[in-house]
Structure 1
Amino acid sequence: MKKQISTILSIILIIIIAIFALMNFESVEVNFGFASLKVPLVLLILISLLIGALVIFLFSSTQNVKKNRQFKQLESESQQKQNQLNTQIDELNDNLKALETRLKNSTGKQEIGSRDQQISDLEDEIAKLTEKLSSEK
Structure 2
Amino acid sequence: MKKQVGTIISIVLVIIIAVFALMNFESVAVNFGFTSVKMPLVLLILICLLIGALIIFLFSSTQNVKKNRQFKQLASESQQKQDELQDQIKQLTINLKSLETRLKNSYGKQEIGTRDQQISDLEDEIAKLTEKLSSQK
- TM-score over 0.5 (shorter chain): yes
Shift of 1:39: 0.4
Indicate the residue corresponding to 1:43 in structure 2.
43
Match of 2:29, SS state, is strand
Indicate the residue corresponding to 2:136 in structure 1.
136
Uncovered stretches (5+) of structure 2, i.e. residues with no partner: none
Instruction: Indicate the percent of aligned positions where both proteins have the same amino acid.
Output: 82
Pairwise CA RMSD: 0.6
Indicate the residue corresponding to 1:3 in structure 2.
3
Matches within 5 A, 1:1-137: 1-137=1-137
Shift of 1:17: 0.7
Q: TM-score, normalised by structure 2?
A: 0.98
Shift of 1:81: 0.8
User: Structure 2: how far apart are the matches of 1:96 and 1:2?
Assistant: 53
Per-residue Cα deviation, 1:59-106 (whole angstroms, up to 9, x for no partner): 100110011011101110111111011101110110000000000000
User: Structure 1: how far apart are the matches of 2:89 and 2:73?
Assistant: 24
Shift of 1:4: 1.0
User: Structure 2: how far apart are the matches of 1:95 and 1:112?
Assistant: 26
Q: TM-score, normalised by structure 1?
A: 0.98
Q: Which runs of 4+ in 1 moved over 4 A?
A: none
Uncovered stretches (5+) of structure 1, i.e. residues with no partner: none
